[in-house]
Amino acid sequence: MHEAGLRERKKAATRLALHEAALRLAAEEGLDRVTVEAIADAADVSRRTFSNYFSSKEEAIFYGDTVRLRRMLELIRDQPADEQPWTVLSRAAEALTIEVYGELAPTWLAQRRRVRRHPGLLAHHVAAYTTVERELAAELTHRLTGPEVALRSRVLAATCLATLRVALQQWIEHPDGPLLDMIRTALAEVRPTPGTPGPATGPG
């Protein structure tokens, strides 16, 4: 069995090249000044080939997020089946953050900041997260007991992903300190861990 044949490696390279070109050009020129054709040209493929990989330039821009979230699914599967669900999610999120922190170079941060100005992209960012939401919920189903497992696993998946998304957005906008701290604070706001001093929520 092949780890990765030439075919697969070429496809992955093309996909990545398209993603990077899309993000870079959108940051440099502004989203609406960049055509799909320009992205394809920058990645040395035809416009038609772009469509074979992504259904829109926005999807191409957020491909990196998709990859990272799929990696998080693996990190979840690697954990013992009898852990508390939220513990599993938190650990996976923190491990992922540490893993990819190096790849989040200043260039990446700057590009994401510029791209952020386009309000329409918010929806597509969220869309990337929603794509894996069902897979994540399916993974959590096995780790829940009690009634309403279907609903509750979906709620857990959705809230966890929403929390990570917001933490990332906040860090992109105001990166004071490590991303990991921000993710921990965000996760703690949803599920205060015993031992971590929970934040005061509300006057009084």
Partner whose footprint covers residue 190, from its own copies, DNA, none (CB < 5 to 8 Å by kind): its own copies
Q: Which of 6, 102, 194, 201 binds its own copies (CB under 8 A)?
A: 201
Tell me how far apart the alpha carbons of residues 113 and 190 are, in angstroms, rounded to a whole number: 26
Q: Which of 14, 79, 141, 169 binds its own copies (CB under 8 A)?
A: 169
Q: Which of 71, 86, 116, 135 binds its own copies (CB under 8 A)?
A: 86
Tell me how far apart the alpha carbons of residues 54 and 51 are, in angstroms, rounded to a whole number: 5
Tally the C-alpha atoms within 13 A of residue 127's C-alpha that lie toward its C-beta.
Answer: 13
DSSP secondary structure letters along 138-165: HHHHTT--SS-HHHHHHHHHHHHHHHHH
**CB-nearer residue toward DNA: 47 or 134:** 47
Beta strands in the chain (DSSP E): none
Residues 37-76 that bind DNA (CB under 7 A): 37, 44-53, 55-57
Residue type, 181: D
- 185 lies in the binding site for its own copies (CB under 8 A): yes
**CB-nearer residue toward its own copies: 14 or 159:** 159
Per rule CB under 8 A, count of chain residues that contact its own copies: 47
Smallest separation, CB 111 to DNA (Å): 18
Q: Which of 36, 67, 73, 180 binds DNA (CB under 7 A)?
A: 36
- 17 lies in the binding site for its own copies (CB under 8 A): no
Binding mask 2-31 for DNA (x = CB under 7 A): x--xxxx-xx--x-----------------
Whether the Cβ atoms of residue 102 and residue 138 lie closer than 8 Å to each other:
no
- Which parts of the chain fold into alpha helices (H)? 6-29, 36-42, 47-53, 57-61, 63-77, 85-100, 106-116, 120-141, 149-173, 179-190
Of 12, 36, 16, nearest in space to 25 by CA: 36
DSSP letter (8 states) at residue 117: T
Interface with its own copies (CB under 8 A): 81-86, 122-124, 126-127, 130-131, 143-148, 150-152, 154-156, 158-159, 161-163, 165-167, 169-170, 174, 182, 185-186, 189-190, 199-204
